[in-house]
């Protein structure tokens, strides 16, 4: 079954009503559902927004209706931080452990200061 037809049926919409929502004729909806015509990019965007699905899902390129939301990205690392990370990764696991211990120690020393200034 065509995804457009599935989504339309799930919302109990007629082809005519979906056509009104998308500002196209009922015949166009019928053609999309029967594979006799492809919706324009603009119509595809409107359908994806209306049904709250990805265009890939509508085009049957994906079985996932909505892709997962990407987590907020972390701030970019400075050149210095990148250099530290590069060096850290070249260390043996024993030396990485020593660095971790030192970092935890300094973090514990500085954390109360940072918390005091935040209030």
Instruction: Going from the first residue of the chain to its last (119 residues), give the mean pLDDT of each consecutive group of 10, the final group possibly shorter.
Output: 88 94 95 93 94 91 80 82 92 92 89 59
- Is this model's pTM higher than 0.75 or not? no
Q: Is 52 left (phi over 0), alpha (psi -120 to 50) or beta?
A: left
pLDDT (0 to 100) of residue 117? 56
Domains of the chain: 3-58 (1.10.260.40), 79-118 (no CATH)
User: Encoding tokens for residue 91?
Assistant: 């260390």
pLDDT (0 to 100) of residue 77? 85
b/e per residue 1-19 (b: at least 16 CB within 10 A)? eebbbebbeeeebebeebb
């Amino acid at each position: 079954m065509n995804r457009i037809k599935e989504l339309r049926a799930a919302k109990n919409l007629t082809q005519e009503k979906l056509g009104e929502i998308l500002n196209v004729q009922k015949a166009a909806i019928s053609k999309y559902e029967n594979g006799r015509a492809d919706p324009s990019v603009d119509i595809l965007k409107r359908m994806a927004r209306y049904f709250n699905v990805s265009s890939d899902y509508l085009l049957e390129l994906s079985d996932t209706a909505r892709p997962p939301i990407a987590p907020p990205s972390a701030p970019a690392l400075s050149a210095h931080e990148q250099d530290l990370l590069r060096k850290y990764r070249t260390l043996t696991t024993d030396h990485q452990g020593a660095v971790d211990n030192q970092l935890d120690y300094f973090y514990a020393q500085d954390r109360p200061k940072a918390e005091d200034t935040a209030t």
